[in-house]
Structure 1
Amino acid sequence: MTTPSRRLAIAAAWLFALALLGGLVASRLELSGDLRLFMPSPQTPAQALVIEELGEGPGSRLLLLAIEGAEPEVLAEDAQALRAALEGDPAFELVANGEFDAEAIPPELLPYRYLLTPSFDDAPLDAARLREALGERLEDLASPAAPMVEPLVPRDPTLEMLTLAESWQPPVQPELRHGVWFDRDGRAALLLVETAAAGFDPDAQQAVLAQLQATFEAVRSEPGMHLTISGPGAFSVLMRDKTSGEASTLGAAATVGMVLLLLFAYRSWRVPLVAVLPLASAALVGLAAVSLAFGSVHGITLAFGFTLIGVAQDYPVHLLSHRRTDVSPWTSVRALWPTLLTGVVSTCLAYLAFFISGVEGLKQLGLFTICGLLTAAATTRFLLPALLDTPRHDPAESRRLDRAWSALLALPRPRWLAPLVGALALAVILLSPRPWWENDLAALTPVPEDLLLRDAALRQDLGAPDVRWMMVVHGADAEAVLARETELAGGLDALVAAGDIAGYDTAARYLPPVAVQRARQAALPDAPTLEAALAEATADLPFRAGVFAPFLADVATARAAAPLTPEAVADTPLALSIEGLLLEREQDTVGLVTLSGVDDPAPLMAFAAAAGDDVELLDLKDATESLVAAYRERVLAALGVAALLLAAAVWIGLRDARRVAAVLVPVAVAMLVVVAVLHGLGVTFNLFHLIALILGAGLGLDYALFFEHARGDRREQLRTFHAVLVCGASTLLVFALLGLSSIPVLRAIGTTVGLAVLANFALAVLTVRIAPPSRREAP
């Protein structure tokens, strides 16, 4: 017997060890929000681009901003103030609102404007061209635009800086009012922001959103104004917060329900306190293992792992229900351990299958769950009995439980019941015409429809890149891609003119290929020729002598400069526009042609098909669905391996064909029933349904194992019945609450596991060969 003081000392030591481990985990824990960890390795170039674009592509890093709630003039002023406050901040690679920025071209690149601009491709930089430009500058200097133009004229009389800066604005621009972009109704000033952080990194995007909101509050001129932020980054934060918030609320409700259930089942306030220790140990050990093995823990692993580890709650419950008044808890746990160990090992082997999935997120999930389940089982076996005393009541002495068990045993148990139920489930599965799989990732998002519609409207107003269609240009190196994009520009312009697309963007729009730059360089006049042309152009104009010396110096520099390459502009603002559209990889270089306003893809398809093998029109939706399908195939393969490992573990544990069949048949039939019910109700399956099936099978295995273990002893049957009732009720409570969630992922997990609990319990009771009731035994 363990004395009360010893139990208190062991509990204190256990809690102290958990506190130490918790502190260690907290100090080393790094959470990751990169959803690509839960995507499979890409098998095709299109899938590789999808994975890259999901996290790092320019489209995924765009945020659409709308300022509303005041008169247009006030909105425009605040939009300009917001842009000024955000520019130069390293968190934002681009901030655009239609207002011209005279510093769009950095000083070190100013001489290169003559290699980048197409202004002199058809008309040379001669006296006539200069005369025309200088006449226009005189008009500008006499206009309200004089303060902006006057500093530019000595160095850039033809205003090529302005021409380039305007050409580098988004290819499709919204309506311009008061110098900034507005929506069609003129009620919202619009801005386009590209973040440095990946779009699907919710932690980084959360900081960006907070910074945007704080900056807006600082520049807002009227209290009634408000800022709307939309885009992939904003949605990733919303999805994380909504999922974690709802999971926390449901988790709190489930915790209260479980505590009340344990109090009712065991009539002791101590039971909930000691029962939580194996679960806390499991969670901390699982976190520590994943953190050590992978360096960081994905948020999905953390949230979903705690849900999966809920099966570990069954281990202390079985011990609590199998305690007897005439023996110590140590004796009870020793008798229970072989059956419990078989269930634990079988479930852990099933999760080993995640390691062959090729998906890092699933590997994290598998390691978390295996380490957690083993820890929960070990602490239940070797630590928990030390905290328990001999119970005052034995579940086998309950007359109500005895009557309920007798009623269940009185039910008919024909041998054909399991085959019949399995056949009916298979018939529903095979004959139902409903679609099986959910390939659209958008169907899993908890983002409300009104926000998605608002995002679509903002994208249309801003001319933001299409989120589905993209053209891909392949080349041996960056120069080959830039040259090919330049060749394609004429055909793309024709598509714009025909209205087939609203606009497009390429890296070549910012950085022409070297051949084009050299041709423009050769066309520039030498110093004597340009000086003579300038003298002729200014002969009777009121410009001071020598005022255009900076202009002459820039042209001379441009004539002698080495052409710009992506490497040469790597540390300049120009690189921000190029890097997202020009991807240099080991085997080749890829140029992305982003498209906007694609209503009918047929002309685009025809253009891409005629362009050649190095040009590909990428349907991101189709590529994403193929990626999901490939993911599903891997998970299904993992499920198949898991089923084999689970069966092998049960065989090793029982070593009797009849006993093995008695355990595995009800579990297999129960899983068929769950799939049939969901499919019959029109549910399309996703990854989380499949993973939940593994959890459901693990729970069912425990029910069948314990019923099979207790088949020859009436009192042991009652204890097992009590344990399974408590396990099933607590699990059903948790997952039924999840099934009520508005989050598609949580709802998929909850409904699947909830149905699995009901099906497994019913089939375990009705199919496992249990000894019939004899005359009433003295309790």
Structure 2
Amino acid sequence: MSGARRLALALLWLVALLILATLVAPRLQLSGDLRKFMPSPQTPAQKLLIDELGEGPGSRLLLIGLTGPDAQTLAAQSQSLRDRLASLPSFKLVANGAALGPEAIPSHLRPYRYLLSSTLDTQALDADYLRAQLDERLQDLGSPAAAMIEPLLSADPTLETLKLAEAWQPANAPQRLHGVWFDKAGREALLAIETHAAGFDPKGQQAAFDSIQAAFADVRGDTATRMSLTGPGAFSVEIGNRTAREASLIGTLDSLVFVLLLWVAYRSWKAPLLGGLPLASAGLAGLGAVALAFDGVHGITVAFGFTLIGVVQDYPIHLFSHQRAGVSPWASARALWPTLTTGVVSTCIAYLTFLVSGVDGLQQLAVFTVVGLATAALATRFLLPALIDPAPRDAADSVWLGRCWERLARWPRLRGGAVLVIALIAAAIAAFAPGSFWQNDLGRLTPVPPAALARDAQLRNELGAPDVRYVLVVQQPDVESALQASERLLPELQRLRDDGAIAGYDLAARYLPSAATQKTRQSHLPDRDALRAVLDQAMSGGPFQSGAFDEFVADVERAKQAPALRPGDLAGTPLAASVEGLLLQRSGHVTALVALSGVHDPAAVATAAARNGAQLLDLKQASESLVAQYRQRVLWALALAAVLLTAAVWVALRSPRRVLRVLAPMALSTLLILALLRAVGVELNLFHLVSLILAAGLGLDYALFFDHAGDDRSEQLRTLHAVIVCSLTTLLVFALLAASSIPVLRAIGSTVALGVVCNFVLALLIVRAPASEAGDGA
């Protein structure tokens, strides 16, 4: 085939890839929801953890600290920032401690104020009470508060609206200076923000983050004010941006390494370009398959999936290295196909086991990897030979490679006894190394700097934010039952607070009493005529004229006749965010949460909760049990993969001796990797386990090709050339990942980099033909 025709076919392949990319892109809905990489929750705590992780108010909370100028300037900037952000659609709630006015209760809800307030639980609307309230209003009208009181007076002479607004301030709020929240030292203004977007909605959180930064830039002006912004959403934005930067840098360096190594190895500028076509085909095919099979593609699937299918770069390398004069590329591809197929099928089997894991993210990873590997292998076998120069250099003619092989041929071979001893030593080190074997703490996987986490903890403490570990739950079949059960907890919660077991609490019933409570309070409201009579008696001899409080009478009458207020009636009001976050309505049940702050005695809280039909959940313990459950599923998948992989190799080789020889480097490398990681104090997590599969696939690939070379010296040299190029490209790629600041990428990189070294050395020591059998021909 002429060079012009080969170039035309390469361009045609590239055009096909561009068309495929155009078709895949519209279907590619990236997701950042970590729940897709979690197993199905089983316990109530696990179910709540999964709900809260993605949709709960805790995942939507952003904390802001303003420092720099004097307190009065900071207070003014805090208020300006609050006003700007509260008007934006990205935010449900923006709180800075500013005293809530009548606007806290929208006009259509104001007649309900006596049903929401606890006043009528202990006090009747009689003449004595109303007379005392009117006397206080006269004093208020002569005070600096007159401007705020006067507009309310005719409809609300008892100022129930302001009492409610004050009662709805956060239960454990910080001090107020100049009308807004400040830290204990009085040097930092504080704000708490709840976004509409969930914490792991990257686009929504990025939009909220950008809005806050823009608003702060306007508010700051030319002052020296500094802003700290923390919380799950802020961290997810920071992590996403840093991951993108590192991925871009690593991807660029990987590409340069791939191009440089292939150019040096094959002395041709065409090799890197042609070698990249199967890899690009694999990536696009994998993405397309996941986009078709699932509702959305998780970002981890894309990032990890491209790392996993990086092994496909080995396929064209093997084809390039086994080219020789007098043999067409098609013949070389046919000769390599049985060995290549065995490696591909075995690796695919390992990942197919994730389809039975019951975890959506792992299933996506399995589809992406299997489709990608199969596509790359088929492209290498049936498309790439048409583009290769039919008169290549033969790697077996390399003088330096021949000398290298002669030295390697003198290395002692590892026999069964030596392999068993090394395996036992490695297993012992892995099992008995100091420290925990498994890493169960999800927080340890976060790439958020410790200083940022400490700053977040400081702001949470200053703001009296709810405890992120403990929460009380009351589960009932409907909203009304949940609110009534919550109300029964109130005396117990107050006792726990008085005893110092907790510092504070918050619950939905604080904002929205049950319908039963509202109806009881309705019964305490006088009818129109009775109210007018006691009001006239209270006004007797005073300065207020008859009819001055007609609006008040009308409001009380509407409240007495109104249906009980329900959560749906709060939509669009400031109360909605608070109630929605503490009253979780799910299919078939309702969960009322009691957010706790400053939990000092969990045992006392758990006992008190149990007495009242509630349950104290430890979300840290729930996350650890979920991780352990997840790991158990992955380990079962790995065990199944090992059995199926062994069966695949047996079918291909049909010789017990060859099967053992091919599998031994992979199995021993796995033990050595575990031993090395544990020896340096690494606690193993899910990403180490998944990376072990990739490392095992590489080891199987190296061993199969050394076995394929047999005792033919020329084939041994070509195989050595291919494996050296493969292992160097893979090693450099994963060494870069091992240097990442992202814990997940670091775990993947370090595991696979160790695997490359161990598998390369062990394949030479165990699988290569003995020196005495090596000859100049077969």
Is the 1:126–1:533 contact (alpha carbons within 8 Å) kept by the matching residues of 2? Answer: yes
Residue in 2 that maps onto 1:127: 127
- Give matches, 1:590-669, under 5 Å: 590-611=591-612, 614-669=613-668
Secondary structure class of the residue paired with 1:471? strand
2:47 matched to 1:45? Answer: no
Residue in 1 that maps onto 2:453: 452
- Distance in 2, Cα, partners of 1:360 & 1:558: 50
Structure 1 residue 555: Cα displacement: 0.3
What one-letter code is carried by the residue in structure 2 that aligns with 1:276?
Answer: G
What one-letter code is carried by the residue in structure 1 that aligns with 2:402?
Answer: D
What one-letter code is carried by the residue in structure 2 that aligns with 1:708?
Answer: D
Any stretches of 5+ residues in structure 2 without a counterpart?
Answer: none
Is the 2:431–2:437 contact (alpha carbons within 8 Å) kept by the matching residues of 1? Answer: no
- Give matches, 1:515-664, under 5 Å: 515-570=516-571, 572-611=573-612, 614-664=613-663
- Distance in 1, Cα, partners of 2:764 & 2:418: 12
2:282 matched to 1:250? Answer: no
- Distance in 1, Cα, partners of 2:355 & 2:27: 24
What one-letter code is carried by the residue in structure 2 that aligns with 1:550?
Answer: E
Residue in 1 that maps onto 2:209: 209
Residue in 1 that maps onto 2:10: 11
Structure 1 residue 748: Cα displacement: 0.6
2:401 matched to 1:395? Answer: no
- Distance in 1, Cα, partners of 2:260 & 2:733: 13
2:151 matched to 1:151? Answer: yes
Structure 1 residue 584: Cα displacement: 2.5
**Percent of aligned pairs sharing the same letter:** 57
Residue in 1 that maps onto 2:418: 417
Residue in 2 that maps onto 1:700: 699
- Distance in 2, Cα, partners of 1:427 & 1:458: 45
- Give matches, 1:74-85, under 5 Å: 74-85=73-84
Q: Which moved more, 1:551-560 or 1:132-141?
A: 132-141
Once superposed, which parts of structure 1, at least 4 consecutive aligned residues long, lie more than 6 Å away?
Answer: none
Structure 1 residue 93: Cα displacement: 1.1
Is the 1:406–1:773 contact (alpha carbons within 8 Å) kept by the matching residues of 2? Answer: no
- Distance in 2, Cα, partners of 1:256 & 1:233: 34
Is the 2:105–2:573 contact (alpha carbons within 8 Å) kept by the matching residues of 1? Answer: no
Q: What TM-score, normalized by structure 2, do the two folds share?
A: 0.97
- Distance in 2, Cα, partners of 1:742 & 1:532: 75
- Distance in 2, Cα, partners of 1:435 & 1:507: 40
Secondary structure class of the residue paired with 1:590? strand
2:265 matched to 1:265? Answer: yes
Secondary structure class of the residue paired with 1:676? helix
Residue in 2 that maps onto 1:480: 481
2:483 matched to 1:504? Answer: no
- Distance in 1, Cα, partners of 2:86 & 2:244: 33
- Distance in 1, Cα, partners of 2:543 & 2:199: 53
Q: Which moved more, 1:579-588 or 1:365-374?
A: 579-588
- Distance in 2, Cα, partners of 1:428 & 1:221: 60
* 1:569–1:492 distance in 2 versus 1, CA, 3 Å: same
Is the 2:515–2:564 contact (alpha carbons within 8 Å) kept by the matching residues of 1? Answer: yes
What one-letter code is carried by the residue in structure 2 that aligns with 1:225?
Answer: T
Please list the CA deviations of residues 8-57 of structure 1 after superposition, one character each: whole Å capped at 9, or x if unmatched. Answer: 11011011111111122222211111111111110111100000011111
Q: Which moved more, 1:726-735 or 1:584-593?
A: 584-593
- Distance in 2, Cα, partners of 1:350 & 1:688: 15
What count of residue pairs does the alignment treat as equivalent? 776
Residue in 1 that maps onto 2:760: 761
Structure 1 residue 366: Cα displacement: 0.9
Please list the CA deviations of residues 647-690 of structure 1 after superposition, one character each: whole Å capped at 9, or x if unmatched. Answer: 12112222222221121122111111111111222110001000
Residue in 1 that maps onto 2:679: 680
Secondary structure class of the residue paired with 1:67? strand
Structure 1 residue 476: Cα displacement: 2.7
- Distance in 2, Cα, partners of 1:97 & 1:247: 38
* 1:477–1:27 distance in 2 versus 1, CA, 3 Å: closer
Residue in 1 that maps onto 2:406: 406
Is the 1:700–1:757 contact (alpha carbons within 8 Å) kept by the matching residues of 2? Answer: yes
Residue in 1 that maps onto 2:731: 732
- Distance in 2, Cα, partners of 1:597 & 1:69: 29
2:201 matched to 1:190? Answer: no
What one-letter code is carried by the residue in structure 2 that aligns with 1:417?
Answer: A
- Distance in 1, Cα, partners of 2:630 & 2:95: 38
Residue in 2 that maps onto 1:168: 168
- Distance in 2, Cα, partners of 1:94 & 1:544: 41
Is the 2:38–2:630 contact (alpha carbons within 8 Å) kept by the matching residues of 1? Answer: yes
Q: Which moved more, 1:90-99 or 1:386-395?
A: 386-395
Secondary structure class of the residue paired with 1:470? strand
- Distance in 2, Cα, partners of 1:143 & 1:214: 39
Please list the CA deviations of residues 542-569 of structure 1 after superposition, one character each: whole Å capped at 9, or x if unmatched. Answer: 2343221111001001111111223443
Q: What TM-score, normalized by structure 1, do the two folds share?
A: 0.97
- Distance in 1, Cα, partners of 2:347 & 2:753: 18
Structure 1 residue 433: Cα displacement: 4.3
Residue in 1 that maps onto 2:31: 32
What one-letter code is carried by the residue in structure 1 that aligns with 2:424?
Answer: A
* 1:772–1:551 distance in 2 versus 1, CA, 3 Å: same
Structure 1 residue 396: Cα displacement: 0.4
2:100 matched to 1:101? Answer: yes
- Distance in 2, Cα, partners of 1:205 & 1:773: 66
Is the 1:472–1:592 contact (alpha carbons within 8 Å) kept by the matching residues of 2? Answer: yes
Structure 1 residue 466: Cα displacement: 0.8
Structure 1 residue 392: Cα displacement: 4.1
Secondary structure class of the residue paired with 2:521? helix
Residue in 1 that maps onto 2:290: 290
Is the 1:68–1:225 contact (alpha carbons within 8 Å) kept by the matching residues of 2? Answer: yes
Secondary structure class of the residue paired with 2:505? strand
Please list the CA deviations of residues 508-559 of structure 1 after superposition, one character each: whole Å capped at 9, or x if unmatched. Answer: 1111112211111111111112111111222233234322111100100111
Is the 1:711–1:771 contact (alpha carbons within 8 Å) kept by the matching residues of 2? Answer: no
Secondary structure class of the residue paired with 2:522? helix
Q: Which moved more, 1:248-257 or 1:664-673?
A: 248-257
- Distance in 1, Cα, partners of 2:461 & 2:655: 67
Is the 1:70–1:222 contact (alpha carbons within 8 Å) kept by the matching residues of 2? Answer: no
Structure 1 residue 498: Cα displacement: 2.3
Is the 1:417–1:767 contact (alpha carbons within 8 Å) kept by the matching residues of 2? Answer: no
Q: Which moved more, 1:281-290 or 1:325-334?
A: 325-334
Is the 1:472–1:615 contact (alpha carbons within 8 Å) kept by the matching residues of 2? Answer: yes
Structure 1 residue 202: Cα displacement: 2.3
Residue in 2 that maps onto 1:712: 711
Residue in 2 that maps onto 1:462: 463
Residue in 2 that maps onto 1:335: 335
- Distance in 2, Cα, partners of 1:430 & 1:625: 21
What one-letter code is carried by the residue in structure 2 that aligns with 1:458?
Answer: L
What one-letter code is carried by the residue in structure 1 that aligns with 2:313?
Answer: Q
Secondary structure class of the residue paired with 1:623? helix
- Distance in 2, Cα, partners of 1:635 & 1:248: 30
What one-letter code is carried by the residue in structure 2 that aligns with 1:304?
Answer: F
What one-letter code is carried by the residue in structure 2 that aligns with 1:502?
Answer: A
- Distance in 1, Cα, partners of 2:201 & 2:409: 55
Q: CA RMSD in A?
A: 1.6
- Distance in 1, Cα, partners of 2:134 & 2:705: 94
- Give matches, 1:349-360, under 5 Å: 349-360=349-360
Structure 1 residue 427: Cα displacement: 2.1
What one-letter code is carried by the residue in structure 2 that aligns with 1:685?
Answer: L
- Distance in 2, Cα, partners of 1:286 & 1:81: 49
Is the 1:78–1:221 contact (alpha carbons within 8 Å) kept by the matching residues of 2? Answer: no
Structure 1 residue 609: Cα displacement: 3.5
What one-letter code is carried by the residue in structure 1 that aligns with 2:533?
Answer: A
Is the 1:581–1:591 contact (alpha carbons within 8 Å) kept by the matching residues of 2? Answer: yes
Please list the CA deviations of residues 441-491 of structure 1 after superposition, one character each: whole Å capped at 9, or x if unmatched. Answer: 111111111111111111111111111110011223221111111111011
Q: Which moved more, 1:391-400 or 1:484-493?
A: 391-400
2:227 matched to 1:227? Answer: yes
Structure 1 residue 601: Cα displacement: 2.2
